[in-house]
Homo-oligomer: A and B are copies of this chain.
Amino acid sequence: MTDANGLASGLACAIPHAPHDRVQLGHGSGGKLSAALVRDHFLPHFANPILDRLGDGATLALGTGDIALSTDTFVVHPLEFPGGNIGSLAVHGTVNDVAMAGATPLHLTAGFVLEEGLPFALLDRVVAAMGAAARAAGVTLVAGDTKVVERGKADGLFINTTGIGILHPGFRPAPDRAREGDVVLVSGPIARHGMAIMAVREGLAFEADITSDSAALPPLVARLREQVGPEVHVLRDPTRGGVASALNEIAAASAVGIELAEDAIPIPGAVAAACEMLGLDPLYVANEGTLLAIVPASRADDALAALRREPIGRDAAAIGRVVRDHPGMVLMRTRLGGRRVVDLLPGDQLPRIC
């Protein structure tokens, strides 16, 4: 059996040669460097009584209600973009998915894959943004994990977050609950997140004019729950694949048609210009702080008023309605008066947008 002290001393000698401002493979080993990574770069931003116990699993009391659970891995490139970074996005993306089930998100877990050589300065900005986004969204990080892979075996940093939230009695929006006559609402201007990423990647001149909509949606959902309650039939955040893909999935799940009015869909001018330049349809571009809500026509005004009470919902709009015709299909009435099919994309429009 190798002498543990000899081995430890040997490794300790090697460490001073490695740069201290970057992640090293040893930070993933489960030894002293791993402990230092967690202590110095994660706990300062996430500390709370549950996480501070640092067991392999968090234990917590959730009360007696049903729960919602959602998971998402974030591989966005670049890691930082106007309006956020992969850390804030990893919080928003998952709390939003939990919120779309009608639940109030309470806790998050986070799993990090770090590429050897990742600058600690960048990691610290990401983790700080993540901590701030979690506090703002009212969720605590209760369990985490870090892994390190060799240079060239990842792309800087990937983050998985899994969120858990408490459901409210009687409030169960679901993709299969859209009904003929319902109205489709959107909480704000669309296609901002995807185009913020693309503008940075492509070095577009108006890059600075487009910021991601990345934001936590639970406040909007709370307003809708308070004002409209169980009559909120569907909630959905149109992320990957955009509004078009989200509505196609809802149309299929509910076996209804959906008809959109092109001139009612809010699209910021800079976003529309960037889409045109790159040949992209804003309906397929990802959003990360915008929701679709489907409610009965009789409650549409109440729902719009509820959304507009929050800053991120002030531009909420009714953009379409649920119809009996063409079940499973989404059509759009164009500005020119025609109708076109808004299909599900077969492949990739914008890779690594989240």
Contact = CB atoms under 8 A, between A and B. Distances in A.
Interface of A: 1-5, 7-8, 11-12, 14-15, 24-26, 28-35, 53-64, 66-75, 97-98, 100-103, 107, 109-113, 142-145, 147-150, 152-155, 158, 160, 162-165, 167, 172, 174-176, 236-237, 239-242, 244-245, 262, 272, 275-276, 279-284, 286, 340-352
B113 A113 contact: yes
A128 to B, nearest CB: 20
Given A56-B70, A68-B58, A1 B347 contact: no
Given A33-B346, A144-B71, A346-B11, A149 B2 contact: no
Given A7-B281, A113-B75, A345-B8, A59 B67 contact: yes
| Among A1, A66, A349, residue most surrounded by chain B Cβ atoms (within 10 Å) | A1
A5 B63 CA distance: 49
A57 B101 contact: yes
A237 B98 contact: no
Interface of A: prevailing SS:
mixed
Contact of A26 (B35, B113, B348): B348
A168 to B, nearest CB: 11
Contacts of A112: 73
Contacts of A351: 25, 28-29, 148-150
A239 B295 CA distance: 50
Nearest to A165: B57
Contact of A69 (B72, B109, B244): B109
B174 A4 contact: no
A97 B57 contact: yes
Given A11-B345, A70-B58, A281-B4, A154 B154 contact: yes
Contact of A32 (B53, B154, B345): B345
Closest 7 CB pairs of A and B: A30-B240, A26-B347, A30-B241, A31-B345, A57-B70, A71-B109, A160-B160
B347 A24 contact: yes
A61 B69 CA distance: 11
A224 to B, nearest CB: 16
A348 B71 contact: no
B14 A347 contact: yes
Contacts of A345: 4, 7-8, 11, 29-32
Contact of A111 (B72, B152, B262, B280): B72
A59 B101 contact: yes
A127 to B, nearest CB: 16
A12 B59 contact: no
Contacts of A97: 56-57
Most buried by B among A103, A144, A147, A284: A147
B343 A281 contact: no
A129 to B, nearest CB: 19
A32 B344 contact: yes
A344 B31 contact: yes
12 contacts: A1-B262, A7-B349, A12-B347, A30-B239, A31-B241, A31-B345, A55-B100, A57-B163, A62-B66, A69-B143, A71-B160, A75-B113
